[in-house]
Structure 1
Amino acid sequence: MNITFSLDEINEVAQQILDQNPNKVILFHGEMGAGKTTLIKALAKKLGVNDVTSSPTFSLVNEYQNTENQTIYHFDFYRLKTEIEALDMGADEYLYSGNWCFIEWAEKIPSLIPDSHSIITISIAEDNKRFLELS
């Protein structure tokens, strides 16, 4: 799936992504400011999360419950120096839990990523729009 959108269309884009039935582990690639966290917030909302969502930059992972009592994890591995830090926090257990796992900066933990995963790449396009590729 490839789509160009503006940030005010983010909720519709989140639904389109979910309609594609991606793997529950999704890696988000894109430069800082591309909209990775904003899209993850929209996905969590579409999955039924009513809590306030935010970037887990300092905590590394935020855990949310949706209206069906399912768990959704949002990771931000930007600050990791080694994969060992991710193992120490139990990242492998989260990633193989069967729950939704949205991962920013997954390139910091390449050997921990499950084989079954989807990738969303976001880049900034003309007129402050975003280009998204789901694979």
Structure 2
Amino acid sequence: MQNFEIILSENELEILAKKLPKEGVIILKGNLASGKTTLTKAIIHNLGIIANVSSPTFSVMQNYEDVFHYDIYQNGVDGLKKNGLFENFFEDGLHIVEWGDDELIALLNKFEIKCCVINIEIYEDKRKYKVSYA
């Protein structure tokens, strides 16, 4: 997979969702209110899953069929390990992690789990998505 950058409005997110992996790990990075959960909704809906997608801030993980949606803002990688959720990354399906960081990327790479990293930046009235593979 090739790295790329794209600028889109919220109603154009399906363009990006179609270019992303359908399985494996997607790590979303960005400031508060940058659109991580909004992008997650677009990815899940692009897979044909009809669900009321919300941020798993307090539950840490939500499951939508074969998609696992994590928010590690409050507890980081240690929280994933402590809650027994890190083992999920060895399972088939798509794993989307909001607030993923370099520590998580390094741990995934240690276990030879490749991931797609998306940095989201606010760009005028749109968002800039920098997509790379680690």
TM-score by length of 1: 0.83
Structure 1 CA distance for aligned equivalents of residues 107 and 61 of structure 2: 15
Question: If each structure's strand is expressed as a fraction of its own residues, which one has the higher value?
Answer: 2
- Alpha-carbon shift at residue 25 of structure 1 (Å): 0.4
**Superposition map of 1:25-44 within 5 A:** 25-44=25-44
Structure 1: 4+ residue segments shifted above 3 A: none
Aligned-residue sequence identity (percent) comes to 30
Specify whether residues 83 and 39 from structure 1 end up closer, same or farther in structure 2 by C-alpha distance, changes over 3 A only: closer
**1:131 aligned residue (105, 119, 128):** 128
5+ residue gaps, structure 2, are none
Q: CA RMSD in A?
A: 2.0
- Alpha-carbon shift at residue 22 of structure 1 (Å): 7.0
* Per-residue Cα deviation, 1:37-67 (whole angstroms, up to 9, x for no partner): 10011000111211211110000000011xx
1:120 aligns with 2:118: yes
Structure 2 CA distance for aligned equivalents of residues 57 and 109 of structure 1: 19
* Per-residue Cα deviation, 1:52-107 (whole angstroms, up to 9, x for no partner): 11110000000011xxxxx1000001111x64322121122111112200001122
**Superposition map of 1:87-102 within 5 A:** 87-102=81-96
Aligned residue for 2:79?
A: 85
Contact 2:72 2:79 in 1 (8 A): no
Specify whether residues 55 and 98 from structure 1 end up closer, same or farther in structure 2 by C-alpha distance, changes over 3 A only: same
What is the total number of aligned residue pairs between the two structures? 125
**Superposition map of 1:7-86 within 5 A:** 7-15=10-18, 17-18=19-20, 21=21, 24-65=24-65, 71-80=66-75, 83-86=77-80
Structure 1 CA distance for aligned equivalents of residues 22 and 63 of structure 2: 20
Structure 1 CA distance for aligned equivalents of residues 131 and 23 of structure 2: 11
